[in-house]
């Protein structure tokens, strides 16, 4: 098993990232068998697809590295690095650009969402971003890619690219690329905004109140949960009763994910109670989950040299691991390199 996944270092790590992806990274790392490997990276090359401030990107990259370690990613067991230190990522992207089809990229909903009405003004990088994402996982022959629901389409594209490349340039008994499987946690695949139950919780939402950040202090967490949008009805006894109540469903989903329960089990405990009782209970569980993460995060950030060393070590290992696939790709395409 080879696990590979990434996160963009834009803004702070939030509860959607944590419950939708990072917590699973840590579990996969902790349950890894002999001979399996986990690679986790900061997708800093992806971050330049949107307007950005260079100083802010530098700061966010280091902070995200510290946040991942604080959440339980152990750099002595997992390979932790940032893309910018592993040139094979953009190199492989270029090689895969010959295989990816315009029609496939035209269907990517994230490009449509992020470019909005200003399609002509969007960067080329925003359009070709999913090919870089395919390179990120194919470079390491990933078998499993733990992500939230919103990344499923990108992973399907990576499989399509791998399959077409293998068909066009390799033989069936010696494929160049492994087809990766998306691994989406059922309980928390989609954590929604605290202000609008129809939008996912996201770093790019202008309202701070829409998301819980992993560095929020207890008072801020409590305030955000108290102010989270809900409705006046008490919680129902069964999941079916949440069908038209996206904000209520979101809070119950978060509680279930944090306590390793299910929506049904939370409703068994809280059915019939109003948000006046449920919100403080949820806030409490959140504060307790975040407490150890934020104190570890603060310690790590104070030791910049160790963070730099972690990323440099991870990148050296990643360069070594990706080398053979990159070479095989050049060769399969008939490119002469001396």
Which residue's CB comes closest to ligand TYM?
20
- Report helix, strand or coil for 58: helix
State the minimum distance, in angstroms, from the CB of residue 137 to ligand TYM: 5
Q: Which active-site residues does the annotation give? A: 114, 200, 203
Q: What is the length of the chain?
A: 338
Nearer CB in complex with ligand TYM: 201/287? 201
Nearer CB in complex with ligand TYM: 200/279? 200
State the minimum distance, in angstroms, from the CB of residue 173 to ligand TYM: 27
State the minimum distance, in angstroms, from the CB of residue 319 to ligand TYM: 17
Edge to edge, the sheet with strand 37-42 lists: 79-82, 37-42, 2-7, 144-146, 181-183
Angle, CA of 184, 140 and 107, to the nearest 5°: 55
Has 28 been labeled as part of a binding site? no
Nearer CB in complex with ligand TYM: 179/236? 179
Count of beta carbons in the 10 Å neighbourhood of residue 325: 18
State the minimum distance, in angstroms, from the CB of residue 127 to ligand TYM: 14
Q: Which residues bind ligand TYM (CB under 6 A)?
A: 5-8, 16-17, 20-21, 43, 46, 133, 136-137, 145, 147-148, 150-151, 154, 189-191, 200-202
Has 17 been labeled as part of a binding site? yes
Has 20 been labeled as part of a binding site? no
Smallest Cα–Cα separation from 279: which of 252, 242, 239? Answer: 252
Nearer CB in complex with ligand TYM: 75/146? 146
Has 200 been labeled as part of a binding site? yes
State the minimum distance, in angstroms, from the CB of residue 255 to ligand TYM: 15
C-alpha 327/C-alpha 335 separation (Å) is 10
Has 8 been labeled as part of a binding site? yes
End-to-end CA distance of the chain: 34
Has 150 been labeled as part of a binding site? yes
Nearer CB in complex with ligand TYM: 158/242? 158
Burial class of residue 179, CB neighbours in 10 A (0-12, 13-18, 19+)? middle
In what helix (H) or strand (E) does residue 6 lie, and over which residues does it extend? strand 2-7
State the minimum distance, in angstroms, from the CB of residue 230 to ligand TYM: 18
- Give the sign of the dihedral formed by CA 57, CA 60, CA 66, CA 69: negative
Has 12 been labeled as part of a binding site? no
Nearer CB in complex with ligand TYM: 70/191? 191
- DSSP E strands in 137-270: the ranges are 144-146, 181-183
Cβ atoms 42, 81 nearer than 8 A: yes
Pseudo-torsion of CA 328, 334, 336, 337, nearest 10°? -10
C-alpha 140/C-alpha 156 separation (Å) is 17
Q: Residues forming the annotated binding site for L-tryptophan?
A: 136
Q: Residues forming the annotated binding site?
A: 8-10, 16-17, 136, 148-150, 191, 200-204
Q: Residues forming the annotated binding site for ATP?
A: 8-10, 16-17, 148-150, 191, 200-204
């Amino acid at each position: 098993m080879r696990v590979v996944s990434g996160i963009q270092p834009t803004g702070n790590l939030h509860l959607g990232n944590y419950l939708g992806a990072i917590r699973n990274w840590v579990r996969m790392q902790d349950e890894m068998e002999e001979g399996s490997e986990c690679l986790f990276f900061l997708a800093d090359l992806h971050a330049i697809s949107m307007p950005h401030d260079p100083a802010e990107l530098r700061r966010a990259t280091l902070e995200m590295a510290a946040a991942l370690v604080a959440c339980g990613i152990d750099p002595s067991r997992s390979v932790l690095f940032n893309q910018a230190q592993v040139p094979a990522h953009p190199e492989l992207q270029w090689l895969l650009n010959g295989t990816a089809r315009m029609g496939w990229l035209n269907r990517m909903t994230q490009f449509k969402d992020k470019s909005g009405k200003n399609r002509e003004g969007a960067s080329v990088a925003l359009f070709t971003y999913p090919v870089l994402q395919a390179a990120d996982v194919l470079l390491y022959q990933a078998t499993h890619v733990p992500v939230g629901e919103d990344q499923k389409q990108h992973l399907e594209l990576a499989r399509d690219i791998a399959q077409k490349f293998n068909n066009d340039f390799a033989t069936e008994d010696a494929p160049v690329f492994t087809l990766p499987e998306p691994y989406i946690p059922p309980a928390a695949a989609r954590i929604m905004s605290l202000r609008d139950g129809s939008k996912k919780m996201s770093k790019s939402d202008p309202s701070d109140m829409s998301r819980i950040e992993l560095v929020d202090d207890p008072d801020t967490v409590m305030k955000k949960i108290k102010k989270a949008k809900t409705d006046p009805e008490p919680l129902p006894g069964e999941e079916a009763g949440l069908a038209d109540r996206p904000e209520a469903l979101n809070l119950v989903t978060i509680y279930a994910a944090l306590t390793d329960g299910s929506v049904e089990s939370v409703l068994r405990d809280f059915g019939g109670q109003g948000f006046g009782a449920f919100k403080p209970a949820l806030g409490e569980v959140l504060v307790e989950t975040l407490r150890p993460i934020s104190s570890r995060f603060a310690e790590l950030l104070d030791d910049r040299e160790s963070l730099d060393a972690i990323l440099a070590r991870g990148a050296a290992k990643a360069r070594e691991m990706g080398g053979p696939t990159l070479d095989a790709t050049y060769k399969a395409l008939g490119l002469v390199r001396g």
